[in-house]
Amino acid sequence: MVKMKVLSMVVVAALLGGCNETLSDGQKGALVGAAAGTGIGLVAGGSFGAVVGAGLIGGAVGYLGGTAIGNSK
């Protein structure tokens, strides 16, 4: 379990470190939403499918929220 958490953090860090341009508000929201949804799914002790689903839903809601914030600027 600890190996999986460490591996997932390394993958996330590598993906974020590979970004060479600034992210839009929608993209920032999607990253934060996906991370929050996945974290909540892990803490709640959900199965793998539930955790992935929570991450996908969180990413979608985060993208929509970030885009709305970006459009209001």
* In the chain, % of residues over pLDDT 90: 8
Which tens digits make up the pLDDT trace of 3-38? 777 778 777 776 766 666 777 888 888 888 888 888
Closest CA to 58 of 43, 41, 36: 36
pLDDT of res. 70: 86
Burial of 70 (0-12, 13-18, 19+ CB in 10 A): middle
